[in-house]
Amino acid sequence: MQTNVQNDPKHIIQALGLTLRIGSTQLLDDASLAISTGERLAIVGPNGAGKTTLIRCLLGLTQPNSGSIKVNGCLLSQTSRAELARQIAYVPQQLAERISFTAIEFINMSRYAQGSGAGIHQLDEYGAQAIENAIERTGISHLKHQSLSTMSGGERQRVNIAAALAQQTPILILDEPTAHLDPKQRELIHELLTNITQDQEITLMVITHDLNWASANFDRIIGMKDGQIMIDAQPNAFMQKEVLMQVFETELLLHPHPETGRPMVLPNSSTNLQLKP
Binding residues (CB under 8 A) for another protein: these are 59-61, 80-82, 84-86, 88-90, 92, 95-96, 98-102, 105-106, 109-110, 112-113, 115, 118-121, 145, 167
Pick between residue 2 and residue 62 the one whose CB is nearest to another protein. 62
Minimum CB–partner distance for residue 113 and another protein (Å): 3
Supply the DSSP symbol for 251. Answer: -
Minimum CB–partner distance for residue 88 and another protein (Å): 7
CA angle 85, 87, 92 (to 5 degrees): 60
Minimum CB–partner distance for residue 163 and another protein (Å): 8
Pick between residue 90 and residue 218 the one whose CB is nearest to another protein. 90
Query: How far is residue 84's CA from residue 94's CA, in Å, rounded to a whole number?
Result: 21
* DSSP secondary structure, 189-233, as one string: HHHHHHHHHHHS--EEEEE-S-HHHHHHH-SEEEEEETTEEEEEE
Minimum CB–partner distance for residue 26 and another protein (Å): 19
In sequence order, the β-bridge partners of residue 245 are: none
Minimum CB–partner distance for residue 46 and another protein (Å): 23
Pick between residue 118 and residue 273 the one whose CB is nearest to another protein. 118
Contact 69, 76 (CB under 8 A): yes
Pick between residue 25 and residue 236 the one whose CB is nearest to another protein. 25
Around 262, how many Cα atoms within 13 Å sit in the side-chain half-sphere?
16
Query: How far is residue 112's CA from residue 190's CA, in Å, rounded to a whole number?
Result: 27
Supply the DSSP symbol for 24. Answer: T
Write the Ramachandran bin of 118: left for phi over 0, alpha for psi from -120 to 50, otherwise beta.
Answer: beta
Count of positions (residues) in the chain: 277
Pick between residue 89 and residue 161 the one whose CB is nearest to another protein. 89
Pick between residue 38 and residue 112 the one whose CB is nearest to another protein. 112
Minimum CB–partner distance for residue 151 and another protein (Å): 15
Q: How far is CA 43 from CA 102, 137, 247, in A?
A: 31, 25, 12
